[in-house]
Structure 1
Amino acid sequence: MLFKIWKKAPLHSCRISHDFSFYVGYLLGDTKEHCSTFKGTRTRAAFVFIIGFWLLDLANNTVQGPARALLADLAGPEQRNTANAVFCSWMAVGNILGFSAGASGSWHRWFPFLLSRACCEACGNLKAAFLIAVLFLTLCTLVTIYFADEVPLTTHEPNRLSDAAPLLEDPQQNGLDLSKLKPDKQVIDNANQSRTVNDYERDIHVKEAISKVDEDKNGGFNDGPGAVLVNLLTSLRHLPPAMHSVLIVMALTWLSWFPFFLFDTDWMGREVYHGDPKGSLSEVHAYDQGVREGAFGLLLNSVVLGISSFLIEPMCKRMGSRLVWALSNFIVFACMAGTAIISWISVGEYSKGIEHVIGGNKNIRIASLVVFALLGFPLAITYSVPFSVTAELTAEAGGGQGLAIGVLNLAIVVPQMIVSLGAGPWDALFGGGNIPAFVLASFAALAGGVFAVRRLPNLSSNSFKSTGFHFG
């Protein structure tokens, strides 16, 4: 699972530094001016940047969704939370490696050939992180393909209601005319009543017809091109009642997380270090320093994430998954409110000229890193508990864990789209900066925590008893 997160280094770095896409844009015909002096817009680079992000997000969901579904299928009813905790711990290991690569500012010294007229120091550092990510992705993918020997299991599914199932079960209504299946002739041996070749062929045709009818009754298009989307939308109508509350809390939870994920290092560069990527040379340097400090904060976040993943199971056994999930949202509420307070204090000092404005206040920088680290604990819960709850609630619902995780993933991608499209206009309403988005995130986390306490189902604490993985 390391390969899933090794892309985190370029993911978070390209979030706040467009230098690598600048280099590609330079090759595609953007400005020929030296990268250290040009401050304008690079249209082609922006296009490459957007396409790259789409591919990264696609890769993320392509890996994480099936991996979680496979864990839920392999783990027994009493080990689902343990399985997700192990998954979370490996994510933390990958995060630590990836953020360590992204936080380093010395790659361009070790690999000077990465620098060019279109690619300055920040771009060289980012290209090195990308190349390392590509190497690890390739290695882990080859290992997975070579050693993973998954055998698909086919099971006979009982007839179930489906939006696409035929209303009538008569073979005549399904486009089959059994009368056409009668043999041209019948030969009956009056002596021994032996079966003839035509009788045998007739039985074969009848069995095929019945098999086709059964396939239609069970939704025979399950392997068709639109099967995944149809099954996903259909499953929303047949979810267990408790899953509706899970989806709402999940959406509110990720609505509070995405502003932090999208703007964390930019927040460090702008509000904490008072830098500007389009400002003077000293402001650009301060911004880059804040970005690297933010990557270090994410490294601390991942360390706490890895440690906290081992605490999830005993907490769920003692408190229950409902209260553990609610606790994580309340912690996110406090931390996101803390980022807003830190921003107000830092911006206030900057406007008053207190301290050395370029580089920020040391105490504020330390407080920011503390917030980064504290958020690792609720992040471990967010990466584990919701998926365990979903696996237990949908264990007998049919459709498999892959479909259940796909439905839960809708409660993640929808908030992501909302934040991605709405954060900019929302911040602009209040004069810019990242504070408005963080305040909105804190209220979303508070709402998610309250809703979790009041509406999430109470699952038995025995569900989190750990006796090891079950592979039978």
Structure 2
Amino acid sequence: MSATGEARLAGWRVACVAAALCGAQVCWSIQIGISTKTFLELGMPASLVSAAWLAGPLSGTVVQPIVGVLSDRCTARLGRRRPFMLAALGVTLFAMALFAAAAPLGAALAGEPIHACAVEFIPQINGSSTEGTRPVSSRCPMALSLAVTGFWLQDFAVNAFQGPTRTLMTDLIPPSQQATANAWFGFMAGLGNALGAALAAADIVAIFPFFGNNLRALYAVAGALVFCCVILASATAHEVPLTLAMRERDKLRRRARRGVPSRVGAGVLDPADDVAAVVQPERGFSLRTRMAEAWRAWQGASAPLRHAFYVQCFTWIAWFTTFIYATSWMGERVFGGSPSAPEGSAGRERYDEGVRRGNLALALQAIFALAATTPTPYTAAFLPWLMAATSTKAVYISSQAVMAVCLFGTLGVTVAADAVGATAAVQAGGMACLILLGWCWAVTMTIPWAIAGSVIDAMPDKGLLMAIMNVSQAAPEMVAALVGFVILSLPHGLNPWGSAMVMAAGGVSAVASIGVIVGLGVGDDVVVDDVTAVAVAGRGDDEHAESARSASAPLLGGG
């Protein structure tokens, strides 16, 4: 039954559908924790690492809107969303295997022994880390090429099943269960973050030594987890297949909203949805037409949705500077190690330990976010309680301010590490900068999506609009990647702090997001009915306001 129906889903089924988001977040989390380290070890210059990370914005910007349009009109027997989820799952697992096996596979294809994929570095006078060294070459460039290919494929594939999964939740969950659905959505996303980071911090090869090294063991375990999550969601999500008549009904609704006369009856959309009278169905798929349709849908979206989109853009520029560089920054700048050092050397051990500590901090960050957004049997979740006690706008601003302080703090920790070395206080300061971002993550994954989910709930274009909203997470990475390339290409005299300067630039973006929240009044239209539910009322838009109130789309306060 769709979200417009009356039937309620069992609570366990809601949780199972949300489990697919856990799988998606596991993928993203291990990418954040391990990918930059792997690229550097295979010989990629630090200034070019951000270019490899362009897979994320390109896939999110291109794949999600297209998949959103296609899934809105898919008439497969499995439903509209599940075919895309399952196909993307297969590609995701292949991509993860390719990334993990890049070194041995690249050596085999190049006809070289496995140790040939080690990297030769020569030191430069400026700096003591990879940011201050220059790779002579990767003696097995094939391995680096395969790793980048696997990384890009994984990004495209995860985006292809993450978008339909988000929309599947709004398809299946009736308005009366939106509180429960949002709570499970946030919980599963946070759980996936925590699991992925914890796996990246663990020595998994010690448990499964037959994988040969920790990278392959990590991706094997993570791949099995992702497979189980998506299959569980697909098996328990009972979609109603979209018929051609239903698709034409939605088409006519879109035409009616744009003021285009209907060809049904007397030119007015039949209130009873007499789909038997609908004219011939749409023919074919025109990308240009669909993109034009996406633009029209976005122009017709309410102000709260557009404003949340703008804040998200600045927020995700800041987030991506940490996604790309945080764990490697811990290994190089905080712990004073280097991925270019030989295996088993003191420098390499310091780097590996720093990366593990960075991933541990990310796991604690995810747990922090979960604690802020998950209710107990006796108390409401802290985040919606705080919104009720203060205001949504104040909470939103506070999270962006904390983000700015933490990202500027990475620069301070780097300066301290250069001055006094990797002392216990410096290491704790580095971890604190990452852990405290958990509060920001809790807000980033709740307030904007509560606004989006409530505004688009009753719209036939919801798959498309949700995909466009996802672009606010994807497109900013292009900016973050460009900023990272420019900053890390600067000579040592202009940037002696390496990747910490990139994350400090992310802090500037967080400050800019505060300006957008204040200037556009983001959060002014969010009404907290009680400590467990938030309804988003569109200013000057009675239709969207009523839809939001009836949906009662909450933050992660439970229901």
TM-score bin, normalised by smaller chain = 0.7 to 0.9
Find the partner of 2:407 among 313, 336, 342: 336
Residue 425 of structure 1 aligns to which amino acid in structure 2?
A: V
Find the partner of 2:423 among 351, 354, 361: 361
Contact 1:25 1:45 in 2 (8 A): yes
Find the partner of 2:202 among 77, 87, 104: 104
Please give the alpha-carbon distance, in whole angstroms, between the structure 2 residues aligned to 1:71 and 1:325: 25
Please give the alpha-carbon distance, in whole angstroms, between the structure 1 residues aligned to 2:141 and 2:351: 22
Residue 384 of structure 2 aligns to which amino acid in structure 1?
A: E
Please give the alpha-carbon distance, in whole angstroms, between the structure 1 residues aligned to 2:218 and 2:186: 23
Task: Please state if 1:142 is matched with 2:235.
Answer: no
Which residue in the other structure is 2:107 paired with? 26
Please give the alpha-carbon distance, in whole angstroms, between the structure 2 residues aligned to 1:170 and 1:293: 63
Task: Please state if 1:461 is matched with 2:542.
Answer: no
Which residue in the other structure is 1:6 paired with? 26
Aligned runs of 1:32-111 on 2, under 5 Å?
Answer: 32=113, 34=115, 38-39=119-120, 40-41=137-138, 42-74=140-172, 80=178, 83-105=181-203, 107-111=204-208
Find the partner of 1:372 among 425, 431, 434: 434
Please give the alpha-carbon distance, in whole angstroms, between the structure 2 residues aligned to 1:110 and 1:169: 64
Which residue in the other structure is 2:328 paired with? 266
Deviation at 1:415, TM superposition (A): 0.6
Which residue in the other structure is 1:323 paired with? 394
Please give the alpha-carbon distance, in whole angstroms, between the structure 2 residues aligned to 1:169 and 1:306: 48
Q: Which has the larger radius of gyration?
A: 1
Deviation at 1:452, TM superposition (A): 0.7
Distance 1:27 1:377, change over 3 A: same
Find the partner of 2:219 among 122, 127, 130: 130
Deviations along 1:17-67, one digit per CA (max 9) or x if unpaired, are 246432332122174362696534132122222222222222332333233
Q: Gaps spanning 5+ residues in structure 1: where?
A: 116-123, 172-206, 350-356
Deviation at 1:79, TM superposition (A): 6.5
Deviations along 1:122-148, one digit per CA (max 9) or x if unpaired, are xx1111011111222222333333332
Task: Please state if 1:407 is matched with 2:427.
Answer: no
Task: Please state if 1:235 is matched with 2:297.
Answer: yes
Deviations along 1:284-310, one digit per CA (max 9) or x if unpaired, are 121111111111111111110110123
RMSD: 3.4
Contact 1:332 1:445 in 2 (8 A): yes
Find the partner of 2:38 among 17, 21, 24: 17
Contact 2:339 2:351 in 1 (8 A): yes
Deviations along 1:299-351, one digit per CA (max 9) or x if unpaired, are 111110110123232233343433322221111011111111111111233xx
Please give the alpha-carbon distance, in whole angstroms, between the structure 2 residues aligned to 1:317 and 1:425: 43
Find the partner of 2:279 among 212, 233, 236: 212
Distance 1:221 1:253, change over 3 A: farther
Please give the alpha-carbon distance, in whole angstroms, between the structure 1 residues aligned to 2:285 and 2:107: 44
Distance 1:53 1:261, change over 3 A: same
Distance 1:4 1:416, change over 3 A: same
**Secondary structure of the equivalent of 1:461?**
strand
Deviation at 1:361, TM superposition (A): 1.3
TM-score (norm 2): 0.66
Distance 1:459 1:470, change over 3 A: closer
Which residue in the other structure is 1:426 paired with? 487
* Aligned-pair identity (%): 21
Residue 61 of structure 1 aligns to which amino acid in structure 2?
A: N
Deviations along 1:81-118, one digit per CA (max 9) or x if unpaired, are 6643431221222222222221113x333333333xxx
**Secondary structure of the equivalent of 2:279?**
helix
Please give the alpha-carbon distance, in whole angstroms, between the structure 2 residues aligned to 1:406 and 1:104: 34
Please give the alpha-carbon distance, in whole angstroms, between the structure 1 residues aligned to 2:387 and 2:183: 11
Please give the alpha-carbon distance, in whole angstroms, between the structure 2 residues aligned to 1:37 and 1:51: 19
Please give the alpha-carbon distance, in whole angstroms, between the structure 1 residues aligned to 2:228 and 2:484: 37
Comparing 411-420 with 306-315, greater Cα deviation is found at 306-315
Deviations along 1:164-216, one digit per CA (max 9) or x if unpaired, are x9989899xxxxxxxxxxxxxxxxxxxxxxxxxxxxxxxxxxx9997437x6x
Please give the alpha-carbon distance, in whole angstroms, between the structure 2 residues aligned to 1:386 and 1:411: 10
Please give the alpha-carbon distance, in whole angstroms, between the structure 1 residues aligned to 2:172 and 2:390: 25
Which residue in the other structure is 1:197 paired with? none
Deviation at 1:443, TM superposition (A): 0.8
Please give the alpha-carbon distance, in whole angstroms, between the structure 2 residues aligned to 1:96 and 1:224: 41
TM-score (norm 1): 0.77
Contact 1:81 1:384 in 2 (8 A): no
Distance 1:142 1:340, change over 3 A: same
Which residue in the other structure is 2:349 paired with? 285
Please give the alpha-carbon distance, in whole angstroms, between the structure 2 residues aligned to 1:8 and 1:104: 17
Aligned runs of 1:134-213 on 2, under 5 Å?
Answer: 134-152=223-241, 154=246, 156-157=249-250, 158-161=252-255, 211-212=278-279
Task: Please state if 1:437 is matched with 2:502.
Answer: yes
Contact 1:259 1:419 in 2 (8 A): yes
Distance 1:74 1:29, change over 3 A: same
Deviation at 1:4, TM superposition (A): 2.2
Contact 1:81 1:313 in 2 (8 A): no
Distance 1:139 1:161, change over 3 A: closer
Please give the alpha-carbon distance, in whole angstroms, between the structure 2 residues aligned to 1:380 and 1:465: 16
Please give the alpha-carbon distance, in whole angstroms, between the structure 2 residues aligned to 1:79 and 1:170: 36
